[in-house]
Amino acid sequence: MRNPSERILSLGWRRTLALGCALCVAACVDAADHTERSETAQAGADPVAQHAATYEAAWSRARSNEGDELGVAAASEAATAAAWLAVRTGERAWWERAREAWAEASRRRILSGACEAGVALARHETSDPNRLREAYIAAYSTSVRFQNIDGDARCVDGAREILRLLAAFRPSDAELAIIDADPNANDPSAHTEPLPPSADVESWIAQEGLAKDSVRVEDVHVVRGDATANGDAVRVVVKLSGVASYALDSSDAGVELAVHNARPAGSVGERLAVGRAGVDSITARTSGTDTVLVFHGARSDGTRVFFLPDPYRIVVDVSLAVAQAPTGPRSLGVVVLDAGHGGDDFGAWFGGLRESRTALDITRRVGGILERRLPETRVIQTRTRDEFISLEERVAFANAASSDVFVSIHLNSGEGVERGGVTTFVLDSTNDQAALRLAARENGTTTREVTGLQQILAGIHRREQVADAKLLAGLVHTGTLTAARMHLPKLPDRGVKSAMFYVLVGATMPAILVEASFINEPEENKALGTEKYRQSLAEGIAEGVVRYARAIASRK
């Protein structure tokens, strides 16, 4: 069977596609050449330098006018200038900047000019023969997003014409179904009202229209089980083949977890020895259509259960020490630092820097500083080398160590005007679309799943725990931003926000996630490549933790 490119050639598609590409590039070049001829005649300016200046000025206006039609117009102007420079200079960086600017201009469907920018983005993608599939996706997304917007019918027809021309590069139905399910996932103006809250997993299943077919309990394994100062703690992960509801109950044997409408895989029926947190072992049995896991020796008052998607799993935390609200002055006995990602999961990657390795370097530095400044505090890192550790294992490590705080250190990435600056997060539900997208990226899932499940997950952390986490987040955020601005004075302050990061779910202590800089913002990326900037970030994070330690020690 011939590949799509060969099919296009045999059907005469090359000429049609070339015409489409020519229209895209010619539109940019003709407009820019007109400006060049008139302005060069007047001032004798270098056209390349002139268009570079036009791009910089327009992109700056786009950032300043984000969210209104002036921003759309400015981003489109920046894209046009960058596209001209890409053709004239042959530099790939200008092609990427044009793509970024068109994407920014098209993000908010309620704004005039956004649909046209979406079509321009698709046409721009066609100028790279290796990105014709991406061009189809851009055109498809535009046709779906703007089909019911008044005044955009002609623009939508243009997007559909691109789809016709690129039919040989059509992605799978499954990929397009993702766009159909949430075509405005990256539109900050969409979903301004929170989705209906889900009381439990069962209602979430109904709300999402997910299949209620029988699932398989594929695996049960102990993630972490360590002796701690306050007793034992253990985390058990129950891996499922699909989504399922569950119920927790007590019995003479211990605690029983019933997974509804589920059948066990062969290995699940074997007795699993635990020997931690009062749990002697775990066994499985069937009860009607349910699979029942028995945690022999566990106490219901020391057991917490929650559900995570992608992959679907039920997480069970068992502890001998029942958490209680703090009373009177206290100090930090244990601090757990978590370097984001690791191993094959390297997170964001830009300019030769991997998030996993850069975050690990910063985390090590934070650890060294805290050991010096808080000599009576035990400082532990979830990883000390570039290795993969699952999200559920990270906070289980902190729980098992009876940590007083948990700080997860990451580097952000984003597109368009969302890019740049320091953000600090606490675990809580949110309606902020940028926070939802970031949580989805860090969780390895989708904004739809984060939004649909956040009410379920929010119920497992205590109110005073959130208050302390916000205090910790504010102090760490201020310290990090202050230190970073010693090198980058105009670094944006993106504030302290809430998001449903799975790495923080189930923490029994105040837990925060720091996005210390944007790895794909050129100026910040360059700074992150220097030891001085990474050391300053570490000092800022550590300063926040030290101030938090002083704050809680002074409580009466």
pLDDT value at position 69? 85
**How many helical (H) and strand (E) elements, i.e. helices and strands, does the chain have?**
17, 18
Distance CA(106)–CA(83), nearest Å, equals 16
pLDDT at 337 over 70: yes
Distance CA(188)–CA(147), nearest Å, equals 18
pLDDT tens digits along 498-516: 765 655 666 778 889 999 9
Q: At what angle do helices 153-165 and 132-145 cross, to 10 degrees?
A: 150
pLDDT value at position 436? 40
Where residue 365 falls among pLDDT bands split at 50, 70, 90? very high
Q: Is the torsion defined by CA of 490, 491, 492, 496 positive or negative?
A: negative
**514: which strand partners?**
409, 424
Residue 513 · residue 504 · CB < 8 Å: yes
pLDDT at 208 over 60: no
pLDDT at 389 over 70: yes
Tell me which H or E stretch contains 338: strand 334-339
Where residue 56 falls among pLDDT bands split at 50, 70, 90? very high
Where residue 182 falls among pLDDT bands split at 50, 70, 90? low
Where residue 13 falls among pLDDT bands split at 50, 70, 90? very low
DSSP 227-286: EETTEEEEEEEEEESS---EEEEE-SSEEEEEETTEEE-GGGGS-EEEEETTEEEEEEEE
Kindly report which listed range (52-61, 198-207, 239-248, 398-407) carries the lowest average pLDDT score: 198-207
DSSP 121-149: HHHHHHTSGGGHHHHHHHHHHHHHHTTTS
More confident residue, 460 or 287: 287
Class of domain 204-319: mainly beta
Q: Provide Rg for the chain, Cα atoms.
A: 27
**pTM of the complete model:** 0.48
Asked if CATH classification 3.40.630.40 holds for the domain at 334-553, the reply, yes or no, is: yes
Q: What share of the chain is helix, strand, coil (3-state, %, to 5)?
A: 50, 20, 30
pLDDT value at position 26? 40
The mean per-residue pLDDT over the stretch 202-206 comes to 58
The mean per-residue pLDDT over the stretch 234-245 comes to 84
pLDDT value at position 251? 86
pLDDT at 468 over 80: yes
Kindly report which listed range (37-41, 42-46, 343-347) carries the lowest average pLDDT score: 37-41
The mean per-residue pLDDT over the stretch 400-404 comes to 84
Percent of the residues in the chain that have a pLDDT greater than 70, as a whole number: 71
The mean per-residue pLDDT over the stretch 86-96 comes to 91
pLDDT value at position 180? 67
pLDDT value at position 212? 60
pLDDT value at position 310? 58
pLDDT at 451 over 50: no
Residue 417 · residue 524 · CB < 8 Å: no
pLDDT value at position 29? 44
pLDDT value at position 185? 64
Place of tokens 């757990």: 336
Which of 353, 387, 278 shows the shortest CA–CA distance to 525?
353
Burial grade of 468 (CB within 10 A; 0-12, 13-18, 19 or more): buried
Secondary structure letter of residue 302 according to DSSP? G
Burial grade of 535 (CB within 10 A; 0-12, 13-18, 19 or more): middle
Distance CA(467)–CA(49), nearest Å, equals 52
Which of 130, 69, 178, 168 shows the shortest CA–CA distance to 445?
178
3-state class (DSSP) for residue 58:
helix
Residue 497 · residue 515 · CB < 8 Å: no
pLDDT at 465 over 80: no
Place of tokens 């939802």: 436
The mean per-residue pLDDT over the stretch 345-370 comes to 92
pLDDT value at position 190? 54
Percent of the residues in the chain that have a pLDDT greater than 90, as a whole number: 37
More confident residue, 548 or 25: 548
More confident residue, 363 or 442: 363
CB atoms within 10 A of CB 195: 13
pLDDT at 85 over 70: yes
